Amino acid sequence: MATVEEPRTFIRPDGKEKVTGTGRYTADLVLAGELVAKFRYADHTHARITRIDTTKARALPGVLAVVTHEDVPDVLYGGMVQDRRLFAKDTVRFEGDVVAGVAATTAEIAEQAAALIEVDYEPLPVVTDFEAALADDSTLVHPTWESYEGDEALGRHDNTLGYSTIVKGDADAALATADVVVKGRYFTDPVQGVPIEPRAVIAQWQGDKLTVWTSTQVPYAARAGVATTLQIPESNVRVIVPLLGGGFGAKCDFHFEGHVAALAKAARRPVKLVFSRREEFFAVGHRREGMVIEFESGARSDGTLVARKARLVLDKGAYCGEGGFFAQMAAMHALGPYELENVHIESSLVYSNNQPSSSIRAPTAPQVCWALEQHMDELATALGMDPVDLRRKTLIETGSVTATGQVLERIAMKETLEKAVEMIGYGQELPDDEAIGVAVGWWPCFASKSGAYVKLNPDGSGTIITGAQENGTGSVMAMPTYVAAELGMQPEDFSMLYQDTDAAPYDMGSCGSQTTFNSGRAVIAAAVDLRDQLLDAAAEKLEASRDDLELTGGSILVMGSPDKSVTIAELAGEGTFHGKSEDVVPDGPEAPAEGCVGRLGLESFHAPQLIAHAVRVRVDRGTGVARVLEVAAAHDCGKILNKIGADGQVYGGVVMGIGQALSEGTQLDAEGRHRNAHLTDYKLVTASDAPKIDVAWIETDTPGAGPKGSKGVGEPPCVPTAGAVANAIAKVIGARVHKLPMTPERVWEAGA
Amino acid sequence: MSVQTFTTASTVEEAIAAVAAGARPVAGGTDLVVGARTGKSTMPESVVAIHRVAELHGVESLADGGLRLGALASHAEIAASGDVRKRFTALSDASAIVGSHATRAQGTVGGNLMNASPAMETGGPLVVLGATATLRSPSGTRSVAVEDLWTGPGKTSAAADELLVGVEIPAPAAGTGSAYLRLEYRRQMEIAVVGASAAVAVADGVVTEARVAMTALSATIRRIPEAEATLIGSDGGSAAIDAAGAAVAAASTPISDVRGSADYRRAMAAVIAGRAIETALSRAREENA
Amino acid sequence: MKVAATLNVNGISYPVDLDPGTNLLTAVRDVVGLTGSKEGCDDSECGACMMLLDGQPVNACSYLALQAEGSAITTVEGLADGDTLAPLQAAFLDLGGVQCGFCTPGMLVSATALLADNPDPTEDEVRIGLSGNLCRCTGYDGIVKAVLSVAGSS
């Protein structure tokens, strides 16, 4: 175990195009003859469609295509449950449901045409209170849910899309024996990903072949979505991602590529869709879900946790998308990185007529962690213990067995806590309007298949061909450094062909903090394969044993015979060298998880990342305005391969977490419509509100980790930030804020 | 966008003629174009760009101790003026926190006043500093007290053919201090949820003059005579300040919206007004010192 | 009806025909053809479209293009000296100021304006000066460090 101190400098290969403005994002591309796409969205958040008449729209000069459900195959799609159509057919279920699409010569004409489409509705009762949606007599968002294809393990029933429990021992009996019991009920508003680039999609058909340029985080999922919904083979669909202007999960999943492809086919012209910021808020099927979270924990007077009960209700919104696993993921965060003897956690993922929720950076974790870490501080208060001491006593450590039965080998949970409190100077004297709050969390790695090639060009330069998606983090941009290290070459020797589904094998995309873990592993495997090929060729050419050869400085040398060598460039000019990965996906740890239902594989956390954040916050007691002044973030994310990139994830993730803590929340009206779908009133943290952030990496050698012992890095920084801020606020004002975000008004209401 | 006619005026006369003919003046564009892009308003059919009219620019200290602002004086220019900072501090406070660096560089005091948002930053300070706006039309020039300029959100008492050409602030009485404060969730890029301005004069430890105005708490920015009355003749101590804050809260008629509930706004009216008054008083005492 | 005008962008004069309601961002991206400046919002909140107008920062999305006739317009494409990156551009790369890159053009333009106004700013002045540019990736850390590393050295 070591703490990384020294900087490891790295200049990203896509940097020059990004700082000079010459890089192209999707909306920057122009195809000859391209048309503009606009959507007609649902006029109600829950209604039966009785009539769609596109006659007037089609008659408008400049309109080349109007597409509704009648113009595309009748296909249901979705991740773990197939519950959605590209264009609403008989029912609209949320504000952003697309009823029709228009392609026209100008944006103005397309907008006018979309407004001219006549849609008649029979309004249905709107389900916005997702907790009430659990009731037996609730209106069903999907009355035909039983007919949908879906993963059996979800335990679907009525409005419940997913149900998951973690059960160990007898929580009720244990609570009765506890010296101290505390209870809390918490509520969170929905939160948005808000990549600064609003999404854009361009589709062009050439014969039966479709090319889609799109701002997606998951090009292969986008390709599969297009193929499924339009009923064409994946080989006819090529998805290219130009530079991607951020995603944070909001650009995961298949979204609008199918709509635009259908419009382009109907119009027989390329079609471009560029979202406005307003659409980027309300129309995307991706936001962080609202939750109701209830905790009850009991402890002995020495701080030992005897039991925890939790009840979680998660707002799925109108459709499953790729967020079907949320019930179990949330349950695992309600368990948290703690040692517990008796546990009863119940988690429900519930349909509503709100915007669909799906993965946003560490889905479900920040909200549950915010509530749990407040709950733990409340328990500490009830015990008369310092909250850090309570965590020292109760956190998992190497050798711990989780409530699901997973044995944790070599983790640095407690070490991150110690480092974070040391960095922030926990216990120091502070002005009476300031306090330090601490929170901890965890997050799993996601093992998935990935493939890559590395080829040498005749001049000795190389090209890496990967399915990985660069969303900005730099995780793809770091790949030349891994390949160069295997081949004794320089990172600058390699170009990259990426974000093109026709070029590389399947990859999961930039989601689940998995790029280095899986795509990095594949790229290194391809480099090793290429290395073997080069060694074979060099052994023959140099008449030496392979075992005596060494790759260094762009050459292959015979060890001990300095005269005998061949440059890689020379070999490259003589042959065709191309390495390919043979991917071996690491097995996840086993967890018996007896008595738990809704098991989707998350009952064990593969190579968990452990996180502790300590924050210093000032609260204006007169107004309730809280400002985060300083953050100390200590992470066990395994071996850090690219420090500038990893640090950047913490800086960005912490600031995103501060936004979620204090100012970011979507407000919905009584019918589930966005009230603040714009950046004036959905407030991101600005440079002047972002605090000083200190980062420490505690490197462990966790079994099942990724290449060179690395784990994920991108999502964890979001996990405990809001919880730490909440604990600091509570210390200053002497009261708990039970609603997230903790806006000035809510802090003031709580008793600032 | 439906602009059909665009002209650029190079003199005030050209600008006024265009306005009289129905054109909407544009300078920094920070309200007009944004309003149209967000769908809050539509672009006018006819626009006259006045940003190059030299005589509408400038921040000028007058011989009588007053201050003249050209309608096109930018927030950045006002905030950078040493004289404004020293003697018209409330205005400096406000101009320094409008929007962002770019908003302050492009946005003008004239645009701010004529957009007539009850949440505008510069309005309250100009009201408590006793400023008058100069309006010109083809038929002549008139002055109107800034506090009488607004008739409702987005509405002014200016006639359709009148152009705001400048703002004059009289010399403050000796021993005057002023301040503007807003409730801000973030330090920058804010629109006032609650704002308050105060200008007070102190002599021999007694408040001799007081003007207090509230921002974003009613349909237009306006003075609160009840708050002023509690201050005048008082020692400017915490009891007087609290009473003035309470008077502001009592006079407010806030709305509930995504930025805050009416109850919160009303409570904050007292807090923010109290702090603005306190700051103004402390500045006044420094003047006397 | 379109109006003929000349826009001077990065020292080059471009004859353009514009609808009078066209904003400067659309004119530069779609008519002049420089796509470095980005459109990230509709209410002048994100700053991705930031340009300089005679050296002063402007949210180009909310400025009428025809108003810019006669002014020197600078975009991110005008910051480098040929193939040599401006010090700010190089510092953004060295110090982790660039991730997805979508805010980068506007951020660099605002930073350029900030340093022109105030060549040796404090960290807080840098943070205030860049508050009209939202970044979702970096937490502003690398950006602020980059601006400070260049400040005072010119």
What residues pair up with A498 in beta bridges, in sequence order? A466
- Same-domain status, C34 and C61: yes
Residues of C in contact with A196 (CB under 8 A): 38, 40, 46, 48, 100, 102-103, 134-136
Picking from A265, A282, A299, the residue at the C-terminal end of a domain is: A282
The full 3-state SS of C88-119, as one line of letters, equals HHHHHHHCCCCCCCCCHHHHHHHHHHHHHHCC
pLDDT in tens, B130-174: 999 999 999 999 999 999 999 999 999 999 999 999 999 999 999
A528 pLDDT band, cuts 50/70/90, is very high
- Same-domain status, A513 and A629: no
Residue C94 lies in a domain: yes
Alpha carbon distance A727, A724 (integer Å) = 5
Asked if A651 lies within 8 A of C77 by C-beta distance, the reply is no
pLDDT of A223 > 70? The answer is: yes
Alpha carbon distance C134, A245 (integer Å) = 13
Asked if C62 lies within 8 A of B49 by C-beta distance, the reply is no
Alpha carbon distance B150, A106 (integer Å) = 39
- Higher pLDDT, residue A512 or A608: A608
- Same-domain status, A261 and A330: no
User: Is the Cβ–Cβ distance between A561 and A514 less than 8 Å?
Assistant: no
Kindly compute the dihedral angle of the four CA atoms of residues B262, B266, B272, B275, in this order, to the nearest 10 degrees. Answer: -170
The full 3-state SS of A24-91, as one line of letters, equals CEHHHCCCCCCEEEEEEECCCCCEEEEEEECHHHHHCCCEEEEECHHHCCCCCECCCECCECCCCCCE
Mean pLDDT, residues A483-505 taken together: 96
Residue A244 lies in a domain: yes
Mean pLDDT, residues A533-544 taken together: 96
Instruction: Classify A81 in phi/psi space as left (phi over 0), alpha (psi -120 to 50) or beta.
Output: beta
pLDDT in tens, A19-39: 999 999 999 999 999 999 999
* Helix (H) or strand (E) segment spanning residue A586: none
Residues of A in contact with B186 (CB under 8 A): 663, 683, 685-686, 688-689
Examine residue A741 and say whether the peptide bond preceding it is cis (omega within 30 degrees of 0).
Answer: yes
Instruction: Classify A535 in phi/psi space as left (phi over 0), alpha (psi -120 to 50) or beta.
Output: alpha
pLDDT of B1 > 90? The answer is: no
- The residue in chain A having the minimum alpha-carbon distance to the alpha carbon of residue B183 is A623
Measure in Å the smallest separation between the Cα of A15 and chain C Cα atoms.
Answer: 6
CB atoms under 10 Å from CB of B2, counted, come to: 12
Out of C21, C47, C59, the one facing B43 most closely (by C-beta) is: C21
- Same-domain status, A521 and A487: yes
Mean pLDDT, residues C4-22 taken together: 97
- Higher pLDDT, residue B39 or A619: A619
Chains A, B: CB contacts within 8 A come to 44
Instruction: Classify A419 in phi/psi space as left (phi over 0), alpha (psi -120 to 50) or beta.
Output: alpha
Cα separation values, A508 from A448, A455, A516, A628, Å: 7, 22, 12, 35
The A-side interface with B (CB below 8 A) comprises: 622-623, 625, 662-663, 667, 675-676, 678, 680-681, 683, 685-686, 688-689, 743-745, 748-749
Measure in Å the smallest separation between the Cα of B86 and chain C Cα atoms.
Answer: 21
- The residue in chain C having the minimum alpha-carbon distance to the alpha carbon of residue A10 is C94
pLDDT in tens, A131-169: 999 999 999 999 999 999 999 999 999 999 999 999 999
pLDDT of C145 > 90? The answer is: yes
Measure in Å the smallest separation between the Cα of C44 and chain B Cα atoms.
Answer: 7
Asked if C139 lies within 8 A of A654 by C-beta distance, the reply is yes
User: Is the Cβ–Cβ distance between C66 and C73 less than 8 Å?
Assistant: no
- Cβ-count burial C3-18 (b if 16+ within 10 Å, e if not): bebebebbeeebebeb
Cα separation values, A725 from A146, A427, A615, A660, Å: 42, 16, 6, 10
Measure in Å the smallest separation between the Cα of B189 and chain A Cα atoms.
Answer: 8
Asked if B271 lies within 8 A of A623 by C-beta distance, the reply is yes
Residue A467, φ and ψ in degrees, nearest 5: -85, 0
- Same-domain status, A623 and A703: yes
Two structure tokens written together for A198: 């609003």
H helices of A499-627, where?
521-542, 568-574
pLDDT at residue A11, as a whole number:
79
User: In whole angstroms, what separates CA A11 from the centre of its chain?
Assistant: 25
Mean pLDDT, residues C36-62 taken together: 96
Q: Highest mean pLDDT range out of A353-357, A447-451, A580-584? A: A353-357
Picking from C32, C52, C77, the residue at the C-terminal end of a domain is: C77
Alpha carbon distance A6, A644 (integer Å) = 10
Domain CATH code at residue C31: 3.10.20.30
DSSP code of residue A590: P
Residues of A in contact with B191 (CB under 8 A): 680
A311 pLDDT band, cuts 50/70/90, is very high
Two structure tokens written together for A391: 């965590």
Measure in Å the smallest separation between the Cα of B114 and chain C Cα atoms.
Answer: 18
Domain CATH code at residue C122: 1.10.150.120
- Same-domain status, C70 and C99: no
Neighbouring chains of A at 3+ CB pairs within 8 Å?
B, C
Two structure tokens written together for C65: 């293009």
B35 pLDDT band, cuts 50/70/90, is confident
Asked if B186 lies within 8 A of A743 by C-beta distance, the reply is no
pLDDT at residue B187, as a whole number:
94
List the beta strands (DSSP E) in A190-230: 200-206, 209-214
Out of A197, A644, A688, the one facing C127 most closely (by C-beta) is: A688
Residues of B in contact with C67 (CB under 8 A): 8, 26, 29, 49, 51
Two structure tokens written together for A688: 């002047």
DSSP code of residue A235: G
Picking from C48, C77, C106, the residue at the C-terminal end of a domain is: C77
pLDDT of A127 > 90? The answer is: yes
Instruction: Among C10, C89, C93, C136, pick the best mutation site for testing chain A contact (most A Cβ within 10 A).
Output: C136
- Same-domain status, A272 and A302: no
List the beta strands (DSSP E) in A606-699: 609-619, 626-636, 692-699
Asked if A680 lies within 8 A of B191 by C-beta distance, the reply is yes
Neighbouring chains of B at 3+ CB pairs within 8 Å?
A, C
Two structure tokens written together for A140: 């069903």
Out of B38, B185, B264, the one facing A683 most closely (by C-beta) is: B185
Q: At CA B51, angle to CA B47 and CA B56, rounded to 5?
A: 115
- Same-domain status, C100 and C134: yes
Residue A407, φ and ψ in degrees, nearest 5: -90, 125
User: Is the Cβ–Cβ distance between C115 and C150 less than 8 Å?
Assistant: yes
Measure in Å the smallest separation between the Cα of A530 and chain C Cα atoms.
Answer: 30
| Full residue range of the structural domain in which residue C97 is found | 87-150
Residue C97 lies in a domain: yes
Kindly compute the dihedral angle of the four CA atoms of residues C22, C24, C28, C31, in this order, to the nearest 10 degrees. Answer: 10
Asked if B185 lies within 8 A of A678 by C-beta distance, the reply is no
Residue A19 lies in a domain: no
Residues of B in contact with A622 (CB under 8 A): 271, 275
Give the count of alpha carbons within 13 A of A701, CB side only: 3
Asked if A625 lies within 8 A of B185 by C-beta distance, the reply is yes
Residue C82 lies in a domain: no
Asked if B188 lies within 8 A of A686 by C-beta distance, the reply is yes
Domains identified in chain A, total number: 3
- The residue in chain C having the minimum alpha-carbon distance to the alpha carbon of residue B76 is C56
Asked if C136 lies within 8 A of A684 by C-beta distance, the reply is yes
Measure in Å the smallest separation between the Cα of C102 and chain B Cα atoms.
Answer: 18
pLDDT in tens, C86-112: 999 999 999 999 999 999 999 999 999
Picking from C77, C103, C130, the residue at the C-terminal end of a domain is: C77
- Same-domain status, C71 and C19: yes
Asked if B260 lies within 8 A of A685 by C-beta distance, the reply is no
- Same-domain status, C119 and C145: yes
Two structure tokens written together for A644: 């500038």
* Helix (H) or strand (E) segment spanning residue B28: none
Residues of A in contact with C22 (CB under 8 A): none
Nearest in space to A317 (alpha carbons), one of A153, A193, A138, A161: A161
Q: What single string gives the DSSP state of each residue in A402-420? A: -TT-PBP-S--HHHHHHHH
What residues pair up with C13 in beta bridges, in sequence order? C8
| Full residue range of the structural domain in which residue A515 is found | 452-580
Alpha carbon distance A610, A417 (integer Å) = 9
- The residue in chain B having the minimum alpha-carbon distance to the alpha carbon of residue C43 is B34
- Same-domain status, A564 and A617: no
Measure in Å the smallest separation between the Cα of C108 and chain B Cα atoms.
Answer: 13
pLDDT of A215 > 50? The answer is: yes
Picking from A559, A580, A601, the residue at the C-terminal end of a domain is: A580
Two structure tokens written together for A406: 């997973």
Domains identified in chain C, total number: 2
CB atoms under 10 Å from CB of A2, counted, come to: 11
Residues of C in contact with B105 (CB under 8 A): 56-58, 113
Two structure tokens written together for A545: 């044993």
Residue A236 lies in a domain: yes
What residues pair up with A298 in beta bridges, in sequence order? A181, A307
- Higher pLDDT, residue A702 or B143: B143
- Same-domain status, A479 and A409: no
For chain C positions 5-24, those within 8 Å of chain A (CB to CB) are none
Neighbouring chains of C at 3+ CB pairs within 8 Å?
A, B
A5 pLDDT band, cuts 50/70/90, is very low
Residue A147 lies in a domain: no
Mean pLDDT, residues B222-227 taken together: 98
- Same-domain status, A460 and A442: no
Residue A180 lies in a domain: no
Measure in Å the smallest separation between the Cα of A675 and chain C Cα atoms.
Answer: 15
Residue A10 lies in a domain: no
Asked if A745 lies within 8 A of B261 by C-beta distance, the reply is yes
Measure in Å the smallest separation between the Cα of C70 and chain B Cα atoms.
Answer: 10
Cα separation values, A598 from A433, A626, B156, Å: 45, 39, 62
Average per-residue pLDDT for chain A: 96
pLDDT in tens, C58-80: 999 999 999 999 999 999 999 99
H helices of A336-403, where?
365-383, 387-394
pLDDT at residue A588, as a whole number:
86
User: Is the Cβ–Cβ distance between B71 and B110 less than 8 Å?
Assistant: yes
H helices of chain B, where?
12-20, 32-37, 75-80, 82-87, 89-95, 101-106, 109-115, 123-128, 225-231, 238-251, 262-288
pLDDT at residue B82, as a whole number:
97
Out of C1, C23, C53, the one facing B33 most closely (by C-beta) is: C23
- Same-domain status, A355 and A410: yes
- The residue in chain A having the minimum alpha-carbon distance to the alpha carbon of residue C35 is A28
Please state the length of chain C: 154
pLDDT of A631 > 90? The answer is: yes
Instruction: Among A282, A623, A655, pick the best mutation site for testing chain B contact (most B Cβ within 10 A).
Output: A623
What residues pair up with B177 in beta bridges, in sequence order? B200
Alpha carbon distance C10, C73 (integer Å) = 6
- Parallel, antiparallel, or unpaired for β A692-699 and B163-169? unpaired
- The residue in chain A having the minimum alpha-carbon distance to the alpha carbon of residue C135 is A196
Domain CATH code at residue A267: 3.30.365.10
Does the CB of A328 have a partner CB in chain C at under 8 Å? no
pLDDT of A7 > 50? The answer is: no
Alpha carbon distance A380, A338 (integer Å) = 14
Chains A, C: CB contacts within 8 A come to 170
pLDDT of A687 > 90? The answer is: yes
- Same-domain status, A221 and A81: yes
Alpha carbon distance B76, C55 (integer Å) = 13
Residue A227 lies in a domain: yes
Does the CB of C125 have a partner CB in chain A at under 8 Å? no
Residues of C in contact with A663 (CB under 8 A): none
User: Is the Cβ–Cβ distance between A698 and A419 less than 8 Å?
Assistant: yes
- Same-domain status, C21 and C47: yes
ipTM of the complex: 0.98
Instruction: Among B185, B241, B257, pick the best mutation site for testing chain A contact (most A Cβ within 10 A).
Output: B185
pLDDT at residue B219, as a whole number:
94
User: Is the Cβ–Cβ distance between A8 and A233 less than 8 Å?
Assistant: no
Alpha carbon distance B268, B271 (integer Å) = 5
- Same-domain status, A78 and A226: yes
Q: At what angle do helices B238-251 and B262-288 cross, to 10 degrees?
A: 140
Residues of C in contact with B30 (CB under 8 A): 44, 59, 62
- Same-domain status, A466 and A434: no
Two structure tokens written together for B17: 């003629």
Mean pLDDT, residues B262-266 taken together: 97
Alpha carbon distance C143, A501 (integer Å) = 33
